[in-house]
């Protein structure tokens, strides 16, 4: 047994299929291998949150809460979810009581690791979700994220400061979340060394192979002392997904950071998931995923989004504008204060860049969400957005500019408001879980309930 084994979090059940096959894996695809996955000895199995919740309701006719129950029934390994702070899994800031209710329910249903991030790295957007997770009676592991990006204002020193804040807030570990695979090997080495020196809690690294660095970045991070790395089994690894589990296990065999995991035991599991991937690509007629592209360092678009943008242009008959779009992304990002590009900022910046390219005139049409991001509604951007740009280019009124957004007074609808709204629509006795699904994805959840509630006099659960 190695002195200081690297732990592995397996992402095949969440980020792996979110990055490569548009999050279309069903619980039936997972069930046959849960026992085998459980026996490997992973640090955690990432299996919930991110886009899985929305996709369950929207495309797979699955109740995400029931999926979690099934996972929990079959797994002793901690189940990890990805949570977007005050956004939860939706696209708005929710009121504090909705955040508390959601986190409490997720913990009750079996989440063992809450990985919590904010697209702008604004800790005010993380505070309530972190507190809610720390208060759960099941005592889940609470992890805070540094959303990694490159810009003229992002430095390793700044990331270390942010990590210290997360530690002070009570997080049990910190994750470097490199959703677009921008973290270069030697930069990772430096960042991990600095974090290990400054913090007392474990450091985890999450990357994607989008620009081709993945495995090399993990190796340098391991040498620098990173505690946990996120990997996906071979069929759901590489390209826009995580580095490969089996490869990393093999690479570290016989070293003082040997994972101790049984690579042979992974072979039949990987074989099963290769079949699942092929089936999904055929069933949903997916275009397939994108290969390694080092230019992602410039346009910084996260894995899942590239294909969406390409499709948007295709639908508009403007496929030839693809390169223009990739060139426009970094310009729009600079205009709006260099936010890291991750949900929801990636969609917001991506849509704005698409509009600019399609209309042939910059900022002719400006979506509401882009104005909101620019005027500070979602929190502080890494660099303040120029007032002149806000007022004269985007048409934001001076009184709409939010100088010091405080999430404490998030004024969204309360849990009771959402419940009442659902009851007013004729769903008389929704469960708390249903109310939360509805709060996050109102139209999608309503359609789902119509199919699954028995309509007697009204819809009854
Ligand atoms: Co990811």
Query: Sorting pLDDT into bands at 50, 70 and 90, what band is 4?
Result: very high
Q: From the CA of 177, how far away is ligand 1's center (Å)?
A: 7
The residue-averaged pLDDT of 15-30 equals 94
Q: From the CA of 198, how far away is ligand 1's center (Å)?
A: 25
3-class SS of residue 9: strand
What are the tens digits of pLDDT across the range 257-312?
999 999 999 999 999 999 999 999 888 877 655 667 777 787 777 666 776 677 77
Q: Return the closest-CA partner of residue 54 out of 443, 456, 454.
A: 443
User: In this structure, how many other beta carbons lie within 10 angstroms of the beta carbon of residue 169?
Assistant: 16
Strands (E), 189-316: 203-206, 228-231
Query: When comparing pLDDT for 141 and 306, which is higher?
Result: 141
pLDDT over 70 (residue 119): yes
What are the tens digits of pLDDT across the range 359-384?
999 999 999 999 999 999 888 999 99
Q: What is the pLDDT of residue 295?
A: 77
Q: From the CA of 178, how far away is ligand 1's center (Å)?
A: 7
Q: What is the pLDDT of residue 68?
A: 98
Q: What is the pLDDT of residue 400?
A: 87
Q: From the CA of 396, how far away is ligand 1's center (Å)?
A: 33
Separation in Å, CA 310 to CA 197, 263, 342, 408: 42, 37, 17, 38
Query: When comparing pLDDT for 363 and 454, which is higher?
Result: 363
The residue-averaged pLDDT of 17-21 equals 92
Query: When comparing pLDDT for 302 and 394, which is higher?
Result: 394
pLDDT over 90 (residue 32): yes
Question: How many alpha carbons lie under 13 Å from residue 387 in its C-beta half-sphere?
Answer: 5
The residue-averaged pLDDT of 51-80 equals 97
The pTM assigned to this predicted structure is 0.93
Q: Which of 110-114, 197-201, 406-410, 412-416 has the weakest average pLDDT? A: 406-410
Classify residue 297 by burial, with Cβ atoms within 10 Å: 0-12, 13-18, 19+.
middle
Q: From the CA of 424, how far away is ligand 1's center (Å)?
A: 38
Which CB contacts under 8 angstroms, 24+ apart, belong to 456-460? 458/426, 458/427, 458/428, 459/426, 459/427, 459/428, 460/428, 460/429
Q: Is 96 left (phi over 0), alpha (psi -120 to 50) or beta?
A: alpha
Tokens of 275: 């079949």
The pocket of ion ligand 1, defined by CB under 5 A, consists of 15, 179
DSSP state of 236: G
Q: From the CA of 335, how far away is ligand 1's center (Å)?
A: 25
Q: From the CA of 116, how far away is ligand 1's center (Å)?
A: 12
Contact in structure between 81 and 48 (CB atoms under 8 Å) = yes
Q: From the CA of 413, how far away is ligand 1's center (Å)?
A: 30
The residue-averaged pLDDT of 197-201 equals 98
The residue-averaged pLDDT of 172-179 equals 97
pLDDT over 80 (residue 157): yes
Percent of all residues in the chain with a pLDDT value above 90, rounded to a whole number: 76
The residue-averaged pLDDT of 102-124 equals 97
Q: Return the closest-CA partner of residue 51 out of 444, 325, 435, 340.
A: 444
Cα 248-253-258 angle, rounded to 5 deg: 85
Q: Return the closest-CA partner of residue 329 out of 318, 147, 310.
A: 310
Tokens of 59: 């495309």
The residue-averaged pLDDT of 405-422 equals 80
Q: From the CA of 419, how far away is ligand 1's center (Å)?
A: 32
The residue-averaged pLDDT of 38-59 equals 97
pLDDT over 50 (residue 456): no
Q: From the CA of 155, how far away is ligand 1's center (Å)?
A: 21
What does pLDDT average to over the chain?
92
Q: What is the pLDDT of residue 460?
A: 58
Q: From the CA of 75, how far away is ligand 1's center (Å)?
A: 22
């Amino acid at each position: 047994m190695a002195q200081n084994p690297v732990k592995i979090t397996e992402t095949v059940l969440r980020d792996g299929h979110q990055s490569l096959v548009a999050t279309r894996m069903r619980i039936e695809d997972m069930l046959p291998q849960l026992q085998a996955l459980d026996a490997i000895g992973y640090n955690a199995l990432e299996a919930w949150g991110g886009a899985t919740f929305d996709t369950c309701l929207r495309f797979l006719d699955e109740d995400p809460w029931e999926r979690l129950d099934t996972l929990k029934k079959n797994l002793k390994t901690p189940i990890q979810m990805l949570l977007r702070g005050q956004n939860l899994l939706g696209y708005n800031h929710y009121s504090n009581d909705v955040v508390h209710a959601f986190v409490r329910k997720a913990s009750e249903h079996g989440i063992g690791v809450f990985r919590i991030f904010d697209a702008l790295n604004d800790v005010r957007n993380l505070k309530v979700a972190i507190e809610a997770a720390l208060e759960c009676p099941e005592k889940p592991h609470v992890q805070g994220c540094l959303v990694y990006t490159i810009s003229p204002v992002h430095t390793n020193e700044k990331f270390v400061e942010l990590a210290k804040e997360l530690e002070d807030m009570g997080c049990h570990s910190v994750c470097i979340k490199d959703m677009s695979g921008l973290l270069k090997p030697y930069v990772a080495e430096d960042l991990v060394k600095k974090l290990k020196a400054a913090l007392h809690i474990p450091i985890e690294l999450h990357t994607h192979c989008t620009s081709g660095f993945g495995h090399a970045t993990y190796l340098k991070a391991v040498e620098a002392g990173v505690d946990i790395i996120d990997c996906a089994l071979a069929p759901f690894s590489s390209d826009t997904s995580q580095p490969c589990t089996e490869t990393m296990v093999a690479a570290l065999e016989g070293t003082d950071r040997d994972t101790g995991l049984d690579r042979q035991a992974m072979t039949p599991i990987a074989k099963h998931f290769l079949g699942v991937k092929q089936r999904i690509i055929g069933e949903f007629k997916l275009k397939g995923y994108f290969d390694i592209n080092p230019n992602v360092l410039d346009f910084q678009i996260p894995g899942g989004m590239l294909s969406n943008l390409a499709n948007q242009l295709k639908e508009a008959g403007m496929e030839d504008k693809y390169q223009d779009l990739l060139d426009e992304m970094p310009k729009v990002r600079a205009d709006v204060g260099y936010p890291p590009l991750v949900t929801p900022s990636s969609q917001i910046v991506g849509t704005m860049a698409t509009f600019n390219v399609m209309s042939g005139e910059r900022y002719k049409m400006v979506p509401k969400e882009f104005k909101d991001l620019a005027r500070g509604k979602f929190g502080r951007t890494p660099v303040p957005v120029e007032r002149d740009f806000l007022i004269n280019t985007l048409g934001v009124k001076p009184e709409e500019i939010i100088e010091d957004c405080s999430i404490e007074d998030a004024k969204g609808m309360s849990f009771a408001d959402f419940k009442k709204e659902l009851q007013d629509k004729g769903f008389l006795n929704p469960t708390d879980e249903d109310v939360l699904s509805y709060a996050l994805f109102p139209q999608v959840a309503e359609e789902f309930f119509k199919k699954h509630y028995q309509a007697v006099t009204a819809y009854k659960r």
